[in-house]
Amino acid sequence: MDATGDLTVLNGKLTILVAFGHGGELDKTQLKQFIGTEVVAERWNKPIEVEQSEGVTVIVAGSEKITCSTIIYTDVFIAGVSILRTEIEIRDKILFNDIMVALHSNTIIVEGLDFQSFASKRITEIREKLNPGKAISYYPNLKKYTLLRFKEFTPKLDQKGLKEHYGEIITRFLSGETSIRALHSREITDKLANDLSYYDEDLFLASTEGVLILGCEDYIKELRELLELAISLLLLFQIYDRKIDTEISNAFDAIK
């Protein structure tokens, strides 16, 4: 297997998840008003897909840019968190490194807006739909998570070859950084060891910032839903933690 040259994506999917608080626990009536139908009972314990739209994304890195079709989803977890899920289909050649640069320089343009502005706009719209006419103080922090799936790429390598020849750049992606600092071999080994895939030929390298996927055709939806649930719960616990801190502070003020 030839492993010369830059790692280049020819066909793949870049998915950006943004988890955000939507103002507290939802009841069935609120969700029914949003989506127009009843929700199947067994879906209540995980994020529920309630909205979908199509759009166009331009990924820009320096002088390079590609245009991609995009599907935008809203996934609602009734306990108090929603996820904006943006799935960008990559059909033109682009360097793996250029994708990383675009992610960190905010030059992924969705529907004419840089991703940060696009996400902020859509989150505001979703919150208003879930809580029409209500004045709510929303938890300000967001949790962003990135999934990149390789379908076709060069050089053509299996999962072992990818880790062996491009372990450093994969580690930078999984670490959510583009700095030029030297990576310790232990850091690379640790990141490449966290593979959640089931079959030997697959790859599902997960970290706290993102995941790199190769194959996993039979169970990729289940893995993504599991990640969505984990991200939702993480943000939900942070929201609860802030509420507890506020209540404790108010209690001490009352004592004084």
What band does 1 get if pLDDT is binned at 50, 70 and 90?
very low
What band does 116 get if pLDDT is binned at 50, 70 and 90?
very high
Read off the pLDDT of each residue in 150-154 and give the average, rounded to a whole number.
Answer: 94
Read off the pLDDT of each residue in 210-235 and give the average, rounded to a whole number.
Answer: 90
Q: Which of 168, 156, 170 is nearest to 99 (CA)?
A: 170
- Whether pTM > 0.85 for this model: the answer is yes
- What are the CA-CA distances from residue 79 to residues 22, 167, 201, 223 (Å)? 9, 38, 37, 21
Return the residue matching tokens 């962003």: 144
Per-residue pLDDT tens for 159-216?
899 999 999 999 999 988 777 777 788 888 888 888 888 888 999 999 989 999 999 8
Q: Are 70 and 88 in contact (CB under 8 A)?
A: yes
The pLDDT of residue 130 is above 60: yes
pLDDT at 234: 92
Residues in the chain: 256
- What are the CA-CA distances from residue 34 to residues 25, 125, 194 (Å)? 14, 12, 38
Main-chain phi, psi angles of 6, to 5 degrees = -75, 145
What band does 78 get if pLDDT is binned at 50, 70 and 90?
confident
* Rounded Cα–Cα distance for residues 130 and 140 (Å): 17
What band does 45 get if pLDDT is binned at 50, 70 and 90?
low
